Structure formats: structure tokens, C-alpha cells
Chains A and B, each alone.
Chain A
Amino acid sequence: MKSLLNLVEKIKPTFSKGGKLGFLHSTFDAFETFLFVPNTVTKSGSHIRDCVDLKRVMTVVIVALLPALAFGMWNVGEQHSIAFGLDMTFIEKVWFGFLKVLPLIIVSYVVGLGIEFISAQLRGHEVNEGFLVSGMLIPLIMPVDVPLWILALAVAFAVIIGKEIFGGTGMNIWNPALIARAFVFFAYPSQISGDTIWVEGLNAAKANAMQVVDGFSGATPLGQAANGIVDFTTTTGEPLSLMQAFIGTMPGSIGETSTIAILIGAVILIWTGVASWKIMVSCVAGALAVGFLVNGFAEPGTFAAVPAYWHLVLGGFAFGAVFMATDPVTSAQTETGKWIYGFLTGALAVIIRLFNPGYPEGMMLAILLMNTFAPLIDYYVVEGNIKKRIKRSTIK
């Protein structure tokens, strides 16, 4: 450790202001603080500070994402083996998934962090940690077959338009990861909808007229719903049980299929206090409220009649509720506001799923929409506090 520290100390002047490579100040600083918690001491105010910093907070989110990531990798292999009738062991499936998902993660981080470094450099700021999480979220909400160049474009769009133009981490209005997904959704609709994109190799198989197992369909349950099929089936045509959907052995975006893996992440986030349990709970409540309400009026045999709790385990709902809606920057920031925000997010997600024929997944749009309105919700909550203060005062 000493020798590394000495090396860093030795080359520091070169990268400091006025040094030969002074223009790379932010980049050097990012690497230095990555290796070492710096020797900065408190100058004003509290002399001691909690040992938690943003790097740690972001690390916790990454750790919480690992179960979903691990399951996602295995599931990529699993779905592939089912589609092509391959006999793969557990290890082979994981390895197959790993090889397919890794490039997505690498592209996401390289492009995103590259832009972060450049923009920090241009502004002379320190590099923000925010993208450590976004960079992992983005691959997890993409279909596994998304072309890398589209992913790269989406990441660039998300970081530049979604975050940096607002001033970087902490200043953005919308969740950057969802901006990336929305970008792909609106710019390359064929890449993020349809029945052939969710399972690795299906697209290629179609193009090359390769043999897929008889009766295999790559449609996700929500995709089936959009086509009017409400007795959800697995890819091989058997009925899909609620338990299967909960465990997540079905096609979908890499990280979103397994509600149980996401729940493990949720426990980590709630226990560490990094994400708000209020948003998660109210989001589920909102979805169930609207779901059951619609159930009451729905004609049997339509998607609206599918019991409301199905919404919780299908598509990106769980992933969105746990990892996306709870983003502390873009969600509501007052405690009362969080209840309202979460409830409306869940409710809107189900409304969009049920009443929007074009696109069966409502969570992304619901969260982005509520991100937009979160400041308004907070405004009225804070306004309540202000009114109370004015009311008890004798001088107006």
C-alpha cells in the first residue's frame, strides 16, 4: 500500500493545476480517490464526518443489483437452451449468459464513464459516482440481444441529455437509466419490442432460418397480453404459473424477470436505508389498487381481468419499483411526497399496461412521468409546511 501511495504522491504534481498534465486533473483525481479515501480534513462545521460517502452508497446499490444480475445471466442461458433444445448444465447456462451480458456491461460503463470523465474534465469538477449505478442498471433493463451500438448510443444519450446538461449527478430530473431505455424504445422500436428479441439468438435464428424448437415462442407474458392472450404461457406453450413468474424463468429484459432476486435487492436497499421503503410499498399498493379496481369491471378473458397481483411479477414492475422509482434524486424527496409519488407510479404503470394497446410495458413510462411530477408533489408538501408556519405567526 505504501509504495502505491508513494507512486500516487509522486505523480500527483504532474496532474495538479499548473503541472504538465494539469488538464487531466479530474481524471487523476477520480483514480486517486478510487484507490484511496483522500487525506482531506474538515475545514468548517462539524469536525468529524460519517465514513459513508457517495461511492459507498452507490456500491450498496450495485451489491443489491447482483442477485438480479446473476439470475439474469443464468436465465439468458436457460432461455437460449430451451429455444434451441440444447442440453446445457447449470454452469454452462451461467457461462453462456455471462458471455452475452458482459459485453453489454462493458459497453455501458466504458461509454458512460468516458462521457462522465470528459464532462467533469471540461467543468473542472470531480468525477461523480452516479454512473456507477446507472451503468449497471442500463444493461439490466435491455433485451439481451440489443445491438451494442444501440446500447452505446442510448448510454451516451442518457448521460448527456439525461444528466450532464442538468449539471451532473444530483441535478437531473429523470432517471438516467430509464432515459436510456426510453431512447431505445422511441428511436429503435423494433429493437425493444416483438417476440424475438428477449431470447438470445432468436433474431439471428430468424434471419438465418435456423431451427428453433417446435412450438417455441419468445413472447413475454406482457407481449402475450398485448396480443390478447391472457392465459399466459411459458416459451414452450405450457401454462405459466404465478410461481414461475415470481421466480422469473421467462423471457424479458436481463435483470427484470426474477421478482425474487429483485426482492433480495430490495431487502438490502431498505435495510441499508439507501432506498425508500415508502416508495416501494406505496408503488405496490398503487398497482394493486388500480389492478383490483379494474378487475371488478373487467370482462372475463381480457388482460384487465387478470388478477392484479400478476402485475407485480410481470415485466419491469418489480425492478422499476425497487431500483428505479426509488432513485433519491429523481423521486419525491419529502416523506409525505414519497407515499403519493410511489402510489401514483404503481397506479400509472398498471393503467398504461391495461389501456395502452401500443406498448405492453408501462413501468418505464410511469416512472418517467412521475419523475417529472415529483417536484410538483414535493412543492405542495413543502407548501403545507410553509402555510403552517405562516398560520401560527401573528405577523403575516
Chain B
Amino acid sequence: MIKHIQLNKGLDIPVQGAAELRIEKTIIPDVVSVKPVNFRSLTPKLVVREGDAVKAGSILFVDKYHPEVGFASPVSGTVEAVVRGEKRKLLEIRVKADNTTDYIKFNAPEPGKATAGEIKKVLLESGLWVALTQRPYGIVANPADEPRAIFVSAFDSAPLAPDYNFTLKDEAANLQVAVDVLGKLTKGGVYVGVNAKTSAGSPFNHLKNVKLYGFSGAHPAGNVGVQINNIAPINKGEVVWTIDPMLLVAVGKLFTKGIYDVTRTIAVAGNRVERPCYVTCVPGTQIKEIDFLVSKKEVEIFDQETGCRYISGNVLTGKNVGLEGSLDFQSNMVTVISEGNYYEMFGWVKPFRCGKFSFSKSYFSWLAPKKKYKVDSNLNGGQRAFVVSDVYGKVLPMDIYPVYLLKAILAEDIDKMEQLGIYEVIEEDFALCEYVCPSKIDIQDIISRGIATMIKEMA
């Protein structure tokens, strides 16, 4: 039976450029980047060299402190380059892809009979283990743990986010296999949060052996952290795991076909995309190969020319990877919006600013509730101290006092952070707080620092 949870706080930012429900193209990548920086606080240890031939599922690097946790190549080909940054920090491994992908065949046990040990072994071997994310902290799960439960959010409520009811519509069988095997890794079971409004069309709706919750409300209702907080919050000392729906499909494929196949259908959206739509590709695909969808028209805002910002992920939490970048391991979409490097005369004093949306009613965008807006990366102000102290709570449907947690982090007060709920949050949960902040404080950055401090101090 589906349990229903209504969330009353949050905000759906009306952003222009949602993807049409059609798959434009399957991208056969030329080069694929695998990036250790996609994984928080990971110290990678390289296990391949430039020139090595790899298959899809070959481990490229491992976690130095958990060498059994490997990170695999999503395609077959040759290691073209190992890119390092300052202090020889490993930034990415570039694999020149073959025309057709050659998969390593893993000996996956039969889902019905497999034991937890066998499941862990094949997940680790194949490199798919890293799909499991641990809360607290949002880091790769530790194979030695048994989590309290595993949580999956079956929908993404972020602006322009892909519609999993569309992209996963044929994957119900793989999803069922995946939740069956993952269910064996925990006594607490697998929780799935679906969108109450559209759950009828969801491939998750008929899954067996899961605890199904329907969520209604605005973003961030689709954030798994918000769902956990409203189902059963994480306590001190507890560990839960989360997994992205697209990667859940990959787990299913591993146990049915025995291959590491992380191919996914992603949305390419945003107001700079000519005809926003979906494409099928693997993580690590170069943004250049998606650029054909982006409009080449020059865009001027207030008579000033603006370029494009290429974001791997959504406009709230994604990374600005640039045209030369690649799709992150965790991203299910690419958003292209305008850069906001323009001046706007008397912007803040104009009674109407028709082209801009505001959560606050101090502008008049509430008069046009259906309107979608062309967004850009302008900060719309300057950074200040916390002043309007109650706006953050209005977009955070969690039992947490955001400003107090943020101030505890700024003060590096470990005890207070713990008491105020640092274990329950990651950056994405605070993204809307950052969006609405009139003081333009980099709130996600503060949360990152808080988590980094906790990892360091609690180790």
C-alpha cells in the first residue's frame, strides 16, 4: 500500500526550456571522461596507464583507502589521457571509445538465490558499487557497512529535470531485479518515493518488495534527503544508502545481463537549447557531442551579449562544466542557460521586472503564475550577512533550522552541527535556500564545508 506524504514547503522555479518527451539521438561517444572529482572526499589510486585497452566495466582507479571499491570505464577503448591538476591531483581519465562497446561479462549470481556477500562482490567487481551513496555526507557507500535501509527517489523535482516516467518506462523489469538484490543488503528494506501526482505512470509504482511512499509538493520533494527526513530521519550513528533511479537500472542490467551498462537517457534542457529533448548516452560523454542541440543564435540581455553556461545537472545543483567538459557520473541532464554577466540599470528599483522570476512577492511575478522564465546566471545582487532570516525555512521541508545549522558550520562547531542535523543533509537539499537568499550567500558551499569538516573530524 502506498503511503502519502504531503510537503507544504518548497518552490517550483518556472524555468523555460523543458525537454520534449522524445529521444533525439543515441550518442556514440568519441571520448569518455571518468572523473574522481565527481565523488566527495575520494582519494583515487590509478590502476591503468595511458595506452591501456579497457572494456566497459574495467576498473580505471580505486579508492586508496578502500581498494575494493573501483571506478569503471563505461565504454570499451583505450586510455587516451590521464589529466592531472595542481599537486598532481587526478582530475579525469579520458578513454577513447571504440565504435561498438565491448562489455566485460561478469558472473552475476541469480537474483533470487544470491546472498548479500555474492551481491556485494559482483557490484564491487563491476565498478557499479559506487552507484550506492551513503548518508550522512553523500559519499560512496562503505562495503563493510550494513545500512539501516536503502532509499530511492523515483522522481526528480528540480527545474527542467528529466521525467523518469518517460526515460525509464521500459525498465520496470530491471528495476525489480535491482530492488530485489539491493534489498538483501539491508534488513531495513528498500524505500521508494514516487511523485503522488504522476505515480500511475511510474515504472516504480508496481514494484514488489519495496516500501512505497507517494510525495506531493513542490521541489525539493523529489530530493531523496528530503524524503528520508520525512519518512524516517537519519540519526547519529546510522547509515542509510541511496541510489539514483538511472543507476538502479544499471544494477538491474548487471544482474540480468552480467554487464556494466550505465547508458542513460538524459534531458538536454534550458533556454539556450534550440529544441530541448532527450538523448541517450553514457556518463562521461563530452558536452561537445551534445552541443549540436544548442542554439547558435547570439543572445543579448539588456543590449549586452551573453554566452552560454553548460551545466552537468540541473540549474540548482549541477556543475558548470563548460563546453569542454563532460557529463558527470551522477547527472541525468544537461542544462544550458545564458551567462548573466550583464549590467541591469536600476534593476532592483524597477517596480516591474517582467523577465525575472522571484519567490518573494516584492516583485510581481506572482501575477503570472503560468509564465516560464528565461533564467541566467546573474547573481542579482551582492553578498551580505544573513538578514531576512525566515525565508529559508519556507523552501526546506525538513525538520531542520537552516540558519542555525549554517551558522554552526561557519563557526566550525562540530557538536552543534551534529545536534542541528548535519547528518541528514547534503548540498542539494539547501539549493533552494540558496536560490531564494536575498543576501546571496553561497549556502551550498557552506554545507560542503560542513560535511568536509565532519568527515575530517569524525574519521
- Interface, chain A (partner B; CB < 8 A): 1-2, 4-5, 33, 35-57, 59-60, 126, 128-130, 167-171, 271-274, 276, 328-329, 333-335, 338, 382, 385-386, 388-390, 392-395
The reply on B346 being an interface residue by CB < 8 A is yes
Contact with A along B428-447 (1 / 0, CB 8 A): 00011011111110111100
Closest beta carbon of chain B to A16's beta carbon, Å: 16
CA distance A38 to B362 in the complex (A): 20
With CB as the reference atom, state the residue of chain A lying closest to B359. Answer: A50
> A37-B347, A395-B237 known; A50 and B357 CB under 8 Å?
yes
Contacting residue for B384 out of A45, A170, A271, A390, CB 8 A = A170
Q: Which of B127-135, B276-284, B326-334, B396-404 contacts A (4 or more CB under 8 A)?
A: B396-404
The smallest C-beta distance from B299 to any residue of chain A, in angstroms, reads 15
The verdict on B147 contacting chain A, using a C-beta distance below 8 Å, is no
Q: What's the nearest-Cβ distance from chain B to residue A165, in Å?
A: 14
Chain B neighbourhood of A328, CB < 8 A: 387-390
List 14 interface pairs A-B (beta carbons < 8 Å), by A numbering: A39-B378, A41-B377, A48-B15, A50-B438, A51-B356, A52-B359, A53-B348, A54-B381, A55-B349, A57-B387, A170-B385, A273-B391, A390-B419, A394-B237
Q: Is the C-beta of B78 less than 8 angstroms from some C-beta in chain A?
A: no
Q: Are A40 and B379 in contact (CB under 8 A)?
A: yes
- State the CA gap A170–B410 with chains docked (Å): 15
Q: Which residues of B contact A128 (CB under 8 A)?
A: 384-385
- The answer to whether A333 touches B427 (Cβ under 8 A) is no
Nearest-neighbour CB distance to chain A for B348, whole angstroms, equals: 4
Among candidates B303, B387, B427, B444, residue contacting A54 with C-beta atoms closer than 8 Å: B387
The 6 A-B pairs of least Cβ separation, nearest first, read: A53-B381, A170-B385, A37-B347, A45-B444, A393-B235, A395-B237
Query: With an 8 A cutoff between CB atoms, is B41 at the interface?
Result: no
* Shortest beta-carbon distance from A249 to chain B in Å: 31
Interchain CA distance A385-B408 in the complex, whole Å = 15
Assess the A170–B386 pair: CB atoms within 8 A.
yes
Contact for A52 among B311, B403, B438, CB less than 8 A: B438
For the complex formed, measure the closest distance between the CB of A71 and the CB atoms of chain B, giving whole angstroms.
22
CB distance from B98 to the nearest CB of A (A): 35
In the complex, which residues 302-343 of chain B have their Cβ closer than 8 Å to any Cβ of chain A? 302-304, 309, 311, 315-318, 320, 335, 337, 339-343
Contact: B438 with A48, CB < 8 Å?
no
Query: What is the interface size of chain B, counting residues whose CB is below 8 A from a CB of the partner?
Result: 80
Residues of B within 8 A of A43 (CB): 442
Residues of B within 8 A of A272 (CB): 360-362
Hey, what's the 0/1 contact readout for B104-145 against A, CB within 8 Å counting as 1? 000000000000000000000000000000000000000000
* B385 close to A33 (CB less than 8 A): no
**Residue contact A51 to B237, C-beta cutoff 8 Å:** no
For the complex, what is the distance from the CA of A382 to the CA of B399, rounded to whole Å?
11
Taking CB atoms, residues of chain A closer than 8 Å to B391 are 273
Q: Does B26 contact A (CB under 8 A)?
A: no
- CB <8 Å contact, A171 and B431: no
Query: Is A47's CB under 8 angstroms from B384's CB?
Result: no
Residues in B with CB closer than 8 Å to A40 are: 378-379, 382
**B177 in contact (CB, < 8 A):** no
Distance in angstroms from A112 CB to nearest chain B CB is 17
Within the complex, which residue of A36, A48, A167, A274 is in contact with B377, where a contact is CB–CB below 8 Å? A48
Count of CB-CB pairs between chains A and B under 8 Å:
219
Q: Fill in one digit per residue for B1-18: 1 if any A CB lies within 8 Å of its CB, else 0.
A: 000000000000101000
B237 interface neighbour in A4, A35, A393, Cβ under 8 Å: A393
Nearest Cβ on chain A to B269's Cβ, whole angstroms: 13
Tell me the residues in window 74-100 of chain B with beta carbons closer than 8 Å to chain A beta carbons. none
Closest residue of chain A to B365 (Cβ to Cβ) is A51
B345 contacts partner chain A, Cβ-Cβ < 8 Å: yes
Q: What A residues does B348 contact at CB under 8 A?
A: 37, 53, 55-56, 59
Q: CB of B236 within 8 A of chain A?
A: yes
Residues of B contacting A386 with CB < 8 Å? 419-420
Q: Which residue of A lies closest to B304 (CB)?
A: A39
Task: List residues of B (20-73) whose CB comes within 8 Å of A's CBs.
Answer: none
Tell me which residues across on chain A come within 8 A of B440, comparing CB atoms: 49, 53
Which applies to chain A's interface (DSSP): helix, strand, loop or mixed?
A: loop
Q: Are A389 and B385 in contact (CB under 8 A)?
A: no
Chain A residues, Cβ within 8 Å of B432:
46
Residue pair A56, B382 in contact (C-beta under 8 Å): no
Complex-state Cα separation, A167 to B410, whole angstroms: 16
- How far, in Å, is A63 (CB) from chain B's closest CB? 9
Instruction: Enumerate chain A residues within 8 angstroms of B380, measured Cβ to Cβ.
Output: 37, 49-53
A33 to B421, CA, bound (A): 37
B243 within 8 A of A: no
**Is the pair A38, B343 in contact by a Cβ cutoff of 8 Å?**
yes
Is the C-beta of B206 less than 8 angstroms from some C-beta in chain A?
no
Asked if A33 contacts B387 (CB within 8 A), the reply is no
Q: How far is the CA of A40 from the CA of B380 in the complex (A)?
A: 8
Contacts of B445 in A (CB 8 A): 44-45
Inter-chain contact B404/A45, CB cutoff 8 Å: no
- Whether A54 contacts B315 by the Cβ 8 Å rule is no
B359 to chain A: which residues have CB within 8 Å?
50, 52
Query: Closest residue to B387 on the A side, CB-wise?
Result: A170
B33 CB to closest chain A CB, in angstroms? 21
Q: Which residue among B342, B381, B389 has the maximum number of chain A CB atoms within 10 Å of its CB?
A: B381
A53-B381, A334-B401 in contact; A47/B337 too (CB < 8 A)?
yes
Q: Is B181 an interface residue (CB 8 A)?
A: no
Contact among B238, B318, B390 with A335 in the assembled complex (CB-CB below 8 Å): B390
B103 contacts chain A at the CB level, 8 A cutoff = no
Q: Which of B344, B393, B431 has the largest number of chain A CB atoms within 10 A?
A: B344
Alpha-carbon gap, A2 to B344, bound state (A)? 10
For A36, A52, A271, A392, the residue with the greatest tally of chain B CB atoms inside 10 Å of its CB is A52
- In the bound complex, residues from chain A placing their C-beta under 8 Å from that of B434 are 45-46, 49
A200 to B181 Cα, complex, angstroms: 84
Contact between A389 and B421 (Cβ–Cβ < 8 Å)?
A: yes
Residue of A nearest to B235 (CB): A393
Please determine whether A47 and B361 come into contact, CB atoms closer than 8 angstroms. no
Knowing A36-B344, A130-B387, A393-B236, say if A47 contacts B438 (CB, 8 Å).
Answer: no
A388 to chain B, nearest CB (A): 8
B101 within 8 A of A: no
Residues of B within 8 A of A394 (CB): 235, 237
Residue of B nearest to A39 (CB): B341
Q: What separation, in Å, do the CA atoms of A76 and B154 have in the docked complex?
A: 64
Q: Give Cα distance in the complex from A361 to B159, angstroms.
A: 51
**A389 and B360 contacting across the interface, CB-CB below 8 Å:** no
Residues of A within 8 A of B382 (CB): 33, 38, 40, 53, 126
The answer, yes or no, to whether B363 is at the interface (CB within 8 Å) is yes
The 8 A CB mask of B287-304 against A (1 = contact, 0 = none) is: 000000000000000111
Docked CA distance A58–B311 (Å) = 33
B387-A169 in contact (CB<8A): yes
CB distance from A305 to the nearest CB of B (A): 38
With A and B bound together, what is the CA distance between A286 and B405 in angstroms? 31
- A329/B387 contact (C-beta < 8 A), A46-B316, A56-B348, A60-B362 known: yes
